[in-house]
Structure 1
Amino acid sequence: MRLLIVCLLLFSSMGQAQQDNDNPQQAAMELLDSPMDNTLPIKGQRFRIDNNVEEITLLFFREEGSDPLIVIRPDGSKWYDTDYPVEKVSWYTDPSFDMIKIKEPQPGPWQVAGRVDEKNKAVIVSEIYFQADPLPDQVFQNEQLKVEGVLYNGDQPVDTSRFGEMVQLSVLFVSSNDPDDDNFGATPTRVAEFQDDGKGYDEKPGDGVFTGRFNLDLESGNYLPVFELSTPLYERRQEADMVMVEPQPVQVNFVLAEERGRDNLVEITVDDSLLKPQSVAINGSVQYPNGEERRFSVTQIENFPYQIPLANLDYGKHRVSLEIFATSQQDREIKLLLDDLTFISVEPISEPTAEELAQQAREQAAREAEQARQQQAAEERQAMINVIIIIAVNILLIVVAIGFVWWKRRKKATKTEETV
């Protein structure tokens, strides 16, 4: 069944074209001014719906902050934003517009009542779809990728300066759930949103070319890209060809200094089977624990691994961000963003000051003097103990000798008495 979407555009006659463009909210809501064969005339606030339309979407612009419109059907009955048949009607209201989708609308003349602009027209819009550039055959983990695409109304590109905030475009990467891949069981990840606002990677606002910056901060493996197009009342999903996200072709390690005055090092290693080593250039920054931030850049690298010195200013957690530019072996220019790198530096050994050295010398001298005093006291105690031992031994020997002499004499006296 062919879906027809009728978009009713009401925009002010008081402003000129340039003034309309200067009003971003008005320009954002002006929907589809493409050249089409089936433009419907509107007289005042009246328009007509033919009997072969199965579904329509009506977009009404009103004065900023005004009340939602009242829709008057051909039979004279009225619909309000708070009172309409929900089984057939979807109604989205905003401070400056109403968007209403109706299934099986009654053929005939319709009207709207409210503070609408004076000039208006209605357009039948056929299938809306988004055509994005094909993704490269080889993309890398943590790669930043620019992708462009065009929003089509049938076979005509949509005039996005009149589409603006009514459409949101984004892309999901859905894992193929191959058990052999690192992304097995990974949650679908929104890797980009497409804008036509002249900011970021988008070159020119309102030129009909939407630009998305793919941030491939996800596990390596096969993914199904799903492009999502949404408006306040409907959504579209388109699947692209499967994409293989290769593992990151650059490895980063940190070599930490253990002494004050020595630099910490960021060590970069490149997989030369994926990248051309001499094409590598690096922009980076480091945020120190004290809040200071320093930037660095390397444009000529002859050999890998390559070490980038980081001044060892403070002890604690460091945050490092790297933008790595290179040419792949397939001659494609790539950019990798590594912005979540951290390391904790080794606490440096501090050099003592002159006062600290003098204090240490005094403390050392005091310790040595105390050790000498204690040693002398110990020696004196030992000498006294030795004297006491000698005296005690001598006294013991004298006592033993006296006892022996006494025992001898007593024994002799006893024999003499026995003889008598």
Structure 2
Amino acid sequence: MFVPKIHAQEDRSPERDLLLQNPAKEIPPLKRDTPPIVPLGTDFQNSVLLLNNRFRVDSDVDEVTMVFFRDRGSAPVVLVRPDGSKIFIENDEEDPNVQWYETQTYDMISIKKPMPGPWQAVGQVLEGSKVMVIADIVLDAQPIPRNIYSGEIIKQTAVLKNNGKQVDFSPFRDVVSLTIDFVSNNNPNFENFGLGTRTIARFQDNGEGLDEIAGDGVFTGQFNLSIPSGEWRPTFGIRTPLYNREQINETVILHPNPIFINVKVDETNEAEHVIMIDTDSKHIKLDSLLLDGKVTHPNGDTDNVTMTETNDLVKVIKVKNTGFGIYRIKLTAFATTADGREVIINVPEHTFVTIAPPEPEPIPTLELEVNDTSKEPAQPISMTLPIDMWTATDTVSFIIAINLFIFVFGGIGIFLVLNKRKYPNDHIILRCKLACFTLLDKLKNLRKSKLKSDAVE
């Protein structure tokens, strides 16, 4: 039986976060309040083998974080202390010394100041399972090249280590989330100044994508470098349900895409469009460039493009002129960098547009009127030309009339509004209403007087 001494996990401090934003300062190593994990025995494997679901906790342990793998969908395990008392998942809310995270397949439990002695896990723990004692977990990954390129496809492999030993228990891959973030160095001389953090890759051990074998303990990440160029500091993130850990790598420089596309458009509709592909000679060797991709025509047809001839000449692709519209070029480049590194680079889609020439203006036609000479004398030949009844002068006059209408009636409206605000009890509109009412009363009285006089007569 191997007995690990485990101490509290270190946390990332605010001071360390501030240092990450200032690349001029050296980033100090993570500090520990207590010595690192001390293995007892010669073949310590960063885990305790379950013997009838029993394991032992040493008296010097300050905090232990364990993972129990169990049958899918089974109930969470129950921990039995050396004195016979039990710890249920409900204790997570009652006991501040217990943190518990459970899923369909595992329980992750962190206990501060655990009782020394033999413990037991009661539950449907997987046969051959281990109590994964998480001590000092890191991601041991290949170094990222100093110079990388926008659009580059990078495959990077890594292994997960716990206290220096590789974790080879495949179910553990479901416990951790492994990512690579690029943190901007905030260098004002680069395009990524002030852009913060970008997640560019997630490591997987599922046999999908670029990962070769599922569950072999080798995690694979495929970079997505479609981010602005500049100085970036790679940060490996290791996240578990109960704590997070970060590893800071050396600064890398992400250069703009080094593959250039220029197009000579055929405007005669009789020849071919010429596409020329060149490289940034400071970064990519032109004589190593290979190309694969396609050209999409305006009508939706596609031409596959493959160029495997290696020479130091600019690559030329001729595209048949099939009509007017948008042509799209999408290429993947395979090349060698100036420092001898083999790279695969996705070239940003390049488009160009061909426009149909304008139709010629209609030519005035001569209309000959020939009459029947047997009935009427011949009439002279007349020329009829199309006449545009609406002239430019009419357009100007129409615009002036509209503006004058808006000016006059708009001015009247503004005057009435201002007058009403200034004289709320004696404004012009009120006066007009009173005048109308007075006029109506006079007309009514006049009509009554007329009717009376007619009646008297």
TM-score by length of 2: 0.64
Are 1:286 and 1:294, in contact at CA under 8 Å, matched by a contact in 2? yes
1:147 aligned to 153, 156, 161, which one?
156
Work out whether 1:61 is the aligned partner of 2:69.
yes
What is residue 93 of structure 1 aligned with on the other side? 102
Are 2:98 and 2:110, in contact at CA under 8 Å, matched by a contact in 1? yes
Q: What is the correspondence of 1:205-284 to structure 2 with a 5 Å cutoff?
A: 205-260=214-269, 262-284=271-293
- Share of identical aligned residues, percent? 35
75-84 vs 167-176, greater mean Cα deviation: 75-84
- Structure-2 change in CA distance of 1:38 and 1:183 (3 Å): closer
Structure 1: how far apart are the matches of 2:261 and 2:124? 61
Q: Deviations over 1:128-178 (max 9, x none)?
A: 112222222322222222323332222322215353222222211111111
- Structure-2 change in CA distance of 1:219 and 1:42 (3 Å): closer
Structure 1: how far apart are the matches of 2:112 and 2:65? 9
Are 1:130 and 1:149, in contact at CA under 8 Å, matched by a contact in 2? yes
Are 1:201 and 1:211, in contact at CA under 8 Å, matched by a contact in 2? yes
Structure 1: how far apart are the matches of 2:43 and 2:257? 46
Structure 1: how far apart are the matches of 2:358 and 2:95? 75
Secondary structure of the equivalent of 1:370?
Answer: coil
Q: What is the correspondence of 1:7-22 to structure 2 with a 5 Å cutoff?
A: none
Q: What is the correspondence of 1:94-173 to structure 2 with a 5 Å cutoff?
A: 94-117=103-126, 120-159=129-168, 161-173=170-182
| Aligned alpha-carbon RMSD (Å) | 3.5
Work out whether 1:286 is the aligned partner of 2:295.
yes
Residue type of the alignment partner of 1:175: S
Structure 2: how far apart are the matches of 1:375 and 1:97? 106
Q: Deviations over 1:94-138 (max 9, x none)?
A: 112222122222223433343334554435454111222222232
What is residue 354 of structure 1 aligned with on the other side? none
Structure 2: how far apart are the matches of 1:284 and 1:375? 70
What is residue 307 of structure 1 aligned with on the other side? 316
Structure 2: how far apart are the matches of 1:148 and 1:40? 27
1:329 aligned to 329, 338, 341, which one?
338
Structure 2: how far apart are the matches of 1:69 and 1:314? 69
Structure 2: how far apart are the matches of 1:202 and 1:78? 42
Stretches of structure 2 lacking an aligned partner (at least 5 in a row): 10-41, 371-378, 385-457
- Runs of 4+ in structure 1 off by over 6 angstroms are 371-375
Q: Deviations over 1:28-73 (max 9, x none)?
A: xxxxxx9526764544344332222222222223322223233344
Q: Deviations over 1:272-310 (max 9, x none)?
A: 232221111111123445554442111225455433233
2:354 aligned to 346, 356, 359, which one?
346
Secondary structure of the equivalent of 1:215?
Answer: coil
Secondary structure of the equivalent of 1:297?
Answer: strand
Are 2:6 and 2:61, in contact at CA under 8 Å, matched by a contact in 1? no
- Structure-2 change in CA distance of 1:334 and 1:236 (3 Å): same
Work out whether 1:377 is the aligned partner of 2:374.
no
Structure 2: how far apart are the matches of 1:118 and 1:148? 29
Residue 255 of structure 1, CA deviation: 3.6
Are 1:141 and 1:220, in contact at CA under 8 Å, matched by a contact in 2? yes
Q: Computing the radius of gyration over CA atoms, which structure comes out larger, 1 or 2?
A: 1
Q: Deviations over 1:342-399 (max 9, x none)?
A: 4252244699xxxxxxxxxxx98xx7452677992259xxxxxxxxxxxxxxxxxxxx
Secondary structure of the equivalent of 1:278?
Answer: helix
Structure 2: how far apart are the matches of 1:41 and 1:180? 54
Name the structure with the higher strand share: 1
2:89 aligned to 75, 81, 87, which one?
81
Q: Deviations over 1:303-348 (max 9, x none)?
A: 554332334445544443211111122122122112x424252244
1:178 aligned to 151, 176, 187, which one?
187
Structure 2: how far apart are the matches of 1:301 and 1:174? 37
Secondary structure of the equivalent of 2:242?
Answer: coil
Structure 2: how far apart are the matches of 1:37 and 1:201? 29
Residue 251 of structure 1, CA deviation: 1.6
Secondary structure of the equivalent of 2:367?
Answer: helix
Are 2:138 and 2:161, in contact at CA under 8 Å, matched by a contact in 1? yes
Structure 1: how far apart are the matches of 2:95 and 2:249? 34
Q: Deviations over 1:236-285 (max 9, x none)?
A: 11011111222322222344443545444433222223222111111112
Are 1:315 and 1:345, in contact at CA under 8 Å, matched by a contact in 2? yes
Structure 1: how far apart are the matches of 2:299 and 2:45? 66
368-377 vs 143-152, greater mean Cα deviation: 368-377
Greater relative contact order (Cα 8 A, min sep 6): structure 1 or 2? 1
71-80 vs 138-147, greater mean Cα deviation: 71-80
- Structure-2 change in CA distance of 1:63 and 1:378 (3 Å): closer
Secondary structure of the equivalent of 2:382?
Answer: helix
What is residue 422 of structure 2 aligned with on the other side? none
Structure 2: how far apart are the matches of 1:63 and 1:375? 107
Structure 1: how far apart are the matches of 2:143 and 2:344? 18
What is residue 418 of structure 1 aligned with on the other side? none
